[in-house]
Structure 1
């Protein structure tokens, strides 16, 4: 079969067939009287073998070895091809994500594009200082995608860089809550802790809803962070968790202050006071807990804690009695001189 016919049937161009011949990869078995290349059925099979191996990404030299060297390891070659292909796909995926990030920022010009690319490079640095610098660099009115900042904040282990990222995320606006809330479903507790810290700094009802769900998280640090953030927002669902923090001694001073703030709501004042009194009654043997609960009463508004404090002045636990006596004096002075 002459080269033109082979090209039509095999789909391999005559030019490529000549190239194969020159390389010694597929040489026609014969020549016509006029000197034209003439391919045998075996030659055509070899051409198809070459094309099949090319489709797997083999170079022509690798194909030649594979077809002619009986000791050539197909398994090793395929394994190497898989590895190289995976590396190439990873690079392509990274490029795709980078392009999508730039596109999401809706750049107005090349300066905007360069700022986003600079930020991407900075966040990928091994240096924590370089990452922090990239986040805090002047944005020059460039809108940084919340998705990019959220992804970074969920993986950042350096506390200073993480703080800068949370600050930038809070300023970015957009769909920041939805972007970072995905971390709340992670099996990795560190990711959930980073997520709840970031969400605690984001405004709005969506953030509040995510924080409320976090009160049921399996990790105590996540629950405490959510409770403190919710208490600061005036969300009363945080009361049980805040009370638990006073009892446990975890951020107890801050938790007590928030309980006092929430108790300014008349609908919740009695509930909070009842909970504190119940715990004081049920913790007779634990001096440290009873001291913290007594100190928490100092944060209650007005004189609502005065009666229980006057009773505690006579408590068998001397430390509790002394604290209660001091607080009674302070509340009475505050009541007598409301302008002081």
Structure 2
């Protein structure tokens, strides 16, 4: 779709040389998912989230995660109105279209858990009331996997709610030189304009659902995720939520590439960003240097591919 390519081109003016990463972020938005961007400091994690939010004419808010963050700081809190003698709900930052949760692993587990219902059910429960979030709602969270002091590891239930986990990676020398001179007179994020509106995103979401998924390819996806639960090197495999996410992501990639149906190659392309963060390696296997990525790569080679 031309609209989506325009969106990707716009974000790429800020995030130089990382088009595949930008495409995966856009696919996450189209598939009603949430994105975890994990990489070392200075690689553009927060800037990627900001650039995508500014490129879409939607409401966006930033939540700076710190150890003193409370659940009410995320979801909102009832406030007593002296004029009406009643409690009125004051919405938190989750009542937006795109929520940037910066350095999410610096928030305590109690604050992190405030996002669980929001991410899974697109609603917020406060006291005895339940409030629906906007039709377009996406959490884009960043975290630094290197620095461990003052951080709290995301639990499995939280990780499973993230549609994808991405790594931006370092730029090449040529790309870094381009970044250097491109920011000589100011940062491009300051002049970035929205190029896509909410209606276009909703139309693209419907187009993703219309991409055909052949029965044999759907069974291949189910066999692949089931194989992760049976692998001896894994303590925890992918959940059925992971199966649904992989199918949706493959549909999204097919739409970006202009294909009307999902192929096994598209499934394999999306397997790592969708499934790898859902896999927990056994301590014995981890001691031998076995990673979740290596296990997944081996399964992709062994699970029969439909013709």
Alignment TM-score, normalising by the size of structure 2: 0.23
- Greater percentage in strand: 2
Larger helix fraction of residues: 1
Q: Which structure has the larger Rg?
A: 1
Q: RCO (CA 8 Å, sep 6+): is it higher in 1 or 2? A: 2
